[in-house]
Amino acid sequence: MDVSEEKIEVIKQTAERIRKDCLWMSTRAGTGHLGPALSLAEILATLYIGILKLDPQNPRWSDRDRLILSKGHGCLALYSILSQVGFFERRHLKDFCSRFDTVLPGHPEMKLPGVEANTGSLGHGIAIGMGMALAAHLDKKEYKVFVVTGDGELQEGSNWEAAMAAAHYKLYNLVVVVDRNRLQLGDFTENISRLEPLAEKWSSFGWGVKVVDGHDVRELLLAFEEIPFVKNQPSVVIANTIKGKGLKIAENKVEWHYKVLTRKQYEDLKNELALEELCDE
């Protein structure tokens, strides 16, 4: 596939907007999983701008592609991209964790247009996505189902039960994207419960596998356009990323799993990172 430079530039700008939104939303709220959201920027921007078949004006369109953010704690990035492509007005980003009944809580819920499943309890997204992909086969629909997982999340056994079943049912319309930033809540993944060789594990479960740079838009586009990687098999994209990407003080730092900038830190970085925030009006 010939990927145009113009398309790549639009996606890069969208990813930059995601990061800026994540920073001001979390600083404003004084809470949020900032590190896990920042590593997702290019993955989500590429999918929503370049790949997914969607209609933001008709969020429940039956032929739409589905995306499940299984690592629901990365929802800052999801909220940003959903607002950018028109699922809701960007002014609502100010409501992130602002009150008990907000439609933008600390983990995504289906009350927000564009959210396909409530996630937060880890290890369930692939099974949910498998069910949706199987439903497409039964209903003779052509939509694809994308599930974005964290790598630490893959230590949950339910993922591998779903992976085995998806291969059994030849769900070639199911795609898992692993945000492989190598960090989880308390340490590096390989110190807690070793995942490598991760690509070989997926292959042994009957999945087509590609390993890419999760911050390289061109690589991501080319990989997603090749799906399914193997005929009649589900596909997994292992996207190597940097946790906290774009915020130097947070990159590859375990403590930034659940940590946000102070207001002073935000103000100090505002000019350097060209940060912008929505007005209260």
Which of 232, 233, 225 is CA-nearest to residue 209?
Answer: 233
- Per-residue confidence (pLDDT) for residue 277, from 0 to 100: 83
- Distance between CA 259 and CA 251 in Å, rounded? 12
Average pLDDT over residues 229-256: 98
Backbone phi and psi for residue 90, each to the nearest 5 degrees, phi listed first: -65, -25
Domain that holds residue 220: 5-270
For residue 276, being part of any structural domain is answered with no
- Whether the per-residue pLDDT at 279 is higher than 70: the answer is no
- Whether the per-residue pLDDT at 281 is higher than 50: the answer is no
For residue 279, being part of any structural domain is answered with no
- Distance between CA 111 and CA 72 in Å, rounded? 14
- Whether the per-residue pLDDT at 167 is higher than 60: the answer is yes
For residue 280, being part of any structural domain is answered with no
Instruction: Reduce the DSSP state of residue 91 to 3 states and report it.
Output: helix
- Distance between CA 129 and CA 11 in Å, rounded? 25
Residues 77 and 109 sit within 8 Å (Cβ to Cβ): no
- Record the tokens describing residue 273, joined without a space: 């990172």
Number of domains the chain contains: 1
Centroid of chain to Cα 233: 22
Residues 207 and 235 sit within 8 Å (Cβ to Cβ): yes
Give me the CATH number covering residue 105: 3.40.50.970
- Per-residue confidence (pLDDT) for residue 220, from 0 to 100: 98
- Whether the per-residue pLDDT at 116 is higher than 70: the answer is yes
Average pLDDT over residues 96-125: 97
- Per-residue confidence (pLDDT) for residue 178, from 0 to 100: 99
- Per-residue confidence (pLDDT) for residue 69, from 0 to 100: 98
> What would the pLDDT profile of 199-213 be if each residue is shown by its tens digit?
999 999 999 999 999
Backbone phi and psi for residue 112, each to the nearest 5 degrees, phi listed first: -95, 125
Taken in order 121, 123, 129, 135, the sign of the CA dihedral is negative
- pTM value is 0.97
Residues 38 and 250 sit within 8 Å (Cβ to Cβ): yes
Average pLDDT over residues 19-30: 97
Average pLDDT over residues 99-121: 97
Average pLDDT over residues 8-16: 98
For residue 148, being part of any structural domain is answered with yes
Residues 145 and 66 sit within 8 Å (Cβ to Cβ): yes
For residue 275, being part of any structural domain is answered with no
The amino acid sitting at 244 is G
Average pLDDT over residues 236-251: 98
- Whether the per-residue pLDDT at 280 is higher than 60: the answer is no
- Whether the per-residue pLDDT at 2 is higher than 80: the answer is no
What is the pLDDT of the chain when averaged over all its residues?
A: 96
